[in-house]
Amino acid sequence: MQMNMVSAINNALELILKENDKALLLGEDIGKDGGVFRVTEGLLDKFGEKRVMDTPLAESGIIGTAIGMSLAGLHPIAEIQFAGFMYLGYSQLINHAARYRTRTRSTFKVPMIVRTPVSGGVRTLEHHSESPEAAYVNMGGLLVVEPSNPYDAKGLLIKASRMDDPVLFLEPTKLYRLFKQEVPENAYEVEIGKANIVKEGTDFTIITYGTMVNVVQSVVEKRKLNAEIIDIRTINPLDIDTIITSAKKTGKVIIVHEEQKSFGIGAEISARIAEDAIYELQAPIIRIGAESFPYPFPGYEKYYVPNEVKISKAIDKLLSS
Amino acid sequence: MFSEAFDGKVDYLQVMDEKGNVDQQFFPKDVDDNTVIAMYKNMMFTRAFDNKVLSLQRQGRTSTFAPSFGEEATHIGSAMAMRKDDIFVPAFRQTGVYYARKMPMDLYLLYWIGYEDSNKIPKEVNGFPMAVPVATQLPHSVGIAFAQKYQGRDAAVVVYVGDGGTSEGDFSEALNFAGVWKTPLVIIIENNQWAISMPREKQSAAKTLAQKAFAAGINCIQVDGNDVMAVYKATKDAIENSKNGPTVIECVTYRMGMHTTSDDPTKYRTDEETEKWKLKDPILRVKMYLTAKGIWNDDLEKKTIEEQSKELDDIVQKAEAFKPDPEGMFNTVYSFVPEVLKKEFDEAKASNYWQ
């Protein structure tokens, strides 16, 4: 069935609620309104207020109570309306969701999912376009995934709901309705911690995820490049083996993400490659990311978010070195 | 044109006064002499534990420790009011609660020595690990209470927070959620007058901390937190009423000791104040009550001290015999062990980093 990312996630949530009676959804405006992006549309009618709960407007409250629910045997799936507002719940995610299992040596578990829209490119007001993934991965304990297409979104979400871990599920706003794809109607899993080789190639490797995957694909297709494209899909844990294998194979690597270049996920990927494959590289690693300052107002975002031109020029530089 | 800031009355409950006299009208009907003796012994143990661990800490045998001196009645009264299936969610100064709920105390001591293995809390204790980030346990307690109701279990949740904790956003958010969801929750504000060096009157302009419940549509009461019977009675009633929703109980008590072993209270408060509170000691008044009733005497006291001293020696010996397992750090982070962690563990082990 043809689905965009919104319908694929909606479909996944419906299947999860059907399959797992411990699962419930909570968040702001997710009931009658169906969420500000309509991701949960129709689910209140199908499952009732008990399983699809509108909450008071408080991010720490949503994440903190979800942690409590999961400690007591439920599998809550919380929606935070925008990633820019989630910092109010950051303490709960980092101090508790991420730590509870290990600080109790697996005696207590926190099976829960926090879904939130990320990244920009859709001309929203300020605080609605951030790509904050790096802020959630450098303490460990949270699984962080970010799909780039409807198929992966559904499979990753279903997989997350069947795991005993806290999973931060980042949904790129721009991709919600950008394109449709054939998505199976039944439940299926996409493995968490496993990268996807979107396209095989031998000249160089582009490592990317989220909003940048289709931008990279477009450049590669237009220029008919023999590039290997890797969509990491899971940010924590990184599929380092797939990354290193490709880096060794092609000897040239570009990392492309929408979040800031400075201190971004690309820094970790680049350091891993340097540690394990530097003697097999034929050129310095190039990182492409947003400029190193806070996300601008919508009028300026085209100067901020990496685009095809920026990626194409970086490829020229890589291939000529 | 504006209503004035709330200046009304929050009910205040005291059942047993400083001399051990009781108000029969409020004396809990289910409390017999043996229960009072058990309360007394539990409070004695809590204090003995504090003294023991303080001494261990001064010898470098534990990490930082937060003693409960003066707050024993708040712990024991509330913990003993819980039914078997009720659940507690502590802050970080609830030694008496853990003890009264039958936490293996050698395991509890491991927390202060410095091992996560302490948090392998047996199921039957029905309690959660301590929460150090102030007030962050409150939203959890709301979620845990929500889950009891959601799953049709007849269990209430009792959560603890200090006076300082009531200033945190998580306190307000949790009360607000609990009010809307009508969760079976008892929120105990353990108002010990001091948040490290910050006195109660500088923490909030509110006349009582209990009244913060009003804004969330929650019932509340203030009790003498040094009166084990008042704490017991209020908690018991709140638990019985928990099917209808949450209750806030402010226990007015006093932190007789330091915040933790890392601070010196003489720097920020007067001896005069502390001396005044000594007269309201929560343990002393129960001893007076029991003695006046003729069911306690010096021999029983001496015998109990000896028994508890031996119990404590066993606890310390067991806790100090604990052997850490570094592999546990690596394989309990997620439901699986990611490659990165596997490699880090293998390297550490093979290279013998942990001699």
Q: Among all chains, which residue has been given the structure tokens 């979400």? A: A157
Q: What is the mean pLDDT of residues B183-203?
A: 98
Is residue B7 scored above 80 in pLDDT? no
Is residue B3 scored above 90 in pLDDT? no
Q: Tens of pLDDT along B37-56?
A: 999 999 999 999 999 999 99
Nearest CA in chain B to A69: B143
* Closest in A96, A102, A104 to B329, CB measured: A102
Spell out the domains of chain A, with CATH numbers in brackets: 2-182 (3.40.50.970), 196-320 (3.40.50.920)
Instruction: Give the integer Cα–Cα distance in Å for A158 and A64.
Output: 22
Reported ipTM: 0.97
Q: What is the mean pLDDT of residues B304-332?
A: 97
* pTM exceeds 0.90 for this model: yes
Q: What is the mean pLDDT of residues A129-156?
A: 97
Best mutation site among A88, A101, A105 for testing chain B: the one with the most B CBs within 10 Å? Answer: A105
Residues 6+ apart with CB under 8 A from A292: A260, A261, A262
Q: B136 and A63 in contact by Cβ < 8 A?
A: no
Q: A61 and B340 in contact by Cβ < 8 A?
A: no
Contact status of A96 with chain B (Cβ, < 8 Å): yes
Q: B177 and A241 in contact by Cβ < 8 A?
A: no
Q: Which amino acid is at A167?
A: V
B354 falls in which pLDDT band (50, 70, 90)? confident
Q: What confidence score (pLDDT) does residue B8 get?
A: 73
Instruction: Give the integer Cα–Cα distance in Å for A169 and A161.
Output: 11
Reading the block at residue B167, the tokens are 């200033």
Task: Write out the H or E segment, with its range, that includes residue B199.
Answer: strand B198-199
Interface of A with B in 264-283 (CB under 8 A): none
Q: Residue A258 in 3-state DSSP?
A: strand
Task: With beta carbons under 8 A apart, name residues in chain A contacting B107.
Answer: none
Instruction: Give the integer Cα–Cα distance in Å for A132 and A151.
Output: 23
Question: Percentage of chain B with pLDDT > 90?
Answer: 96
Is residue B35 scored above 90 in pLDDT? yes
A145 to chain B, closest Cα gap in Å: 14
Q: What confidence score (pLDDT) does residue A297 get?
A: 97
pLDDT, chain A, mean: 98
Q: What is the DSSP letter of B321?
A: T
Q: Are B238 and B249 contacting, i.e. CB atoms less than 8 angstroms apart?
A: yes
Instruction: Give the integer Cα–Cα distance in Å for A247 and A29.
Output: 44
The domain spans of chain B are: 12-324, 325-355
Instruction: Give the integer Cα–Cα distance in Å for A285 and A278.
Output: 9
Instruction: Give the integer Cα–Cα distance in Å for B87 and B42.
Output: 19
Q: What confidence score (pLDDT) does residue B184 get?
A: 98
Question: Percentage of chain A with pLDDT > 90?
Answer: 99
Task: With beta carbons under 8 A apart, name residues in chain B contacting A165.
Answer: 334-335
* Burial class of residue B196, CB neighbours in 10 A (0-12, 13-18, 19+): middle
Instruction: Give the integer Cα–Cα distance in Å for B230 and B216.
Output: 24
Q: What is the mean pLDDT of residues B187-213?
A: 97
Q: Is A128 a catalytic residue?
A: yes
Contact status of A101 with chain B (Cβ, < 8 Å): yes
Q: What confidence score (pLDDT) does residue B6 get?
A: 82
Is residue A184 scored above 90 in pLDDT? yes
Q: Are A101 and A137 contacting, i.e. CB atoms less than 8 angstroms apart?
A: no
Nearest to residue B231, comparing CAs of B67, B85, B100? B100
Task: Write out the H or E segment, with its range, that includes residue B160.
Answer: strand B157-162
Q: What confidence score (pLDDT) does residue B273 get?
A: 96
Is residue B1 scored above 90 in pLDDT? no
A135 to chain B, closest Cα gap in Å: 18
Q: Tens of pLDDT along B113-125?
A: 999 999 999 999 9
Instruction: Give the integer Cα–Cα distance in Å for A15 and B303.
Output: 63
Is residue B355 scored above 80 in pLDDT? no
* Closest in B120, B147, B176 to A69, CB measured: B147
Nearest to residue B163, comparing CAs of B128, B188, B132, B140? B188
Nearest CA in chain B to A91: B136
Q: Tens of pLDDT along B75-116?
A: 999 999 999 999 999 999 999 999 999 999 999 999 999 999
A76 to chain B, closest Cα gap in Å: 10
Task: With beta carbons under 8 A apart, name residues in chain A contacting B148.
Answer: 72
Task: Report chain B residues touching chain A, CB-CB < 8 A.
Answer: 87, 116-117, 119-121, 128-129, 131, 133, 136, 138-148, 150-151, 169-170, 173-174, 176-177, 180, 328-329, 332-336, 338-341
Q: Residue A113 in 3-state DSSP?
A: strand
Q: What confidence score (pLDDT) does residue B4 get?
A: 84
* Closest in A63, A104, A241 to B120, CB measured: A104
Q: A60 and B120 in contact by Cβ < 8 A?
A: no
Nearest CA in chain B to A163: B335
Q: What is the mean pLDDT of residues B272-282?
A: 97
Is residue B265 scored above 90 in pLDDT? yes
Buried b (16+ CB within 10 A) or exposed e, A29-59: ebbeebbbbebbbebbeebeeebbbbbeebb
To which CATH superfamily is domain B12-324 assigned? Thiamin diphosphate (ThDP)-binding fold, Pyr/PP domains (3.40.50.970)
Question: Percentage of chain B with pLDDT > 70?
Answer: 100
Nearest CA in chain B to A88: B169
Task: With beta carbons under 8 A apart, name residues in chain A contacting B141.
Answer: 68
Q: Which amino acid is at A197?
A: I
CB pairs under 8 A between A and B: 136
Q: A56 and B329 in contact by Cβ < 8 A?
A: no
Neighbours of B123 (CB within 10 A): 7
Q: What confidence score (pLDDT) does residue B347 get?
A: 95
Q: What is the mean pLDDT of residues B241-257?
A: 98
A309 to chain B, closest Cα gap in Å: 35
Query: What is the distance in angstroms between the CA of the first residue and the CA of the last residue of chain B?
Result: 73
Is residue A46 scored above 90 in pLDDT? yes
Q: What confidence score (pLDDT) does residue B253 get?
A: 98
Q: What is the mean pLDDT of residues B178-203?
A: 98
Question: Per DSSP, what are the bridge partners of residue A26?
Answer: A53, A78
Q: What confidence score (pLDDT) does residue B303 get?
A: 98
Is residue A157 scored above 80 in pLDDT? yes
Neighbours of B26 (CB within 10 A): 15
The number of CA neighbours under 13 Å toward the Cβ of B230 is 30
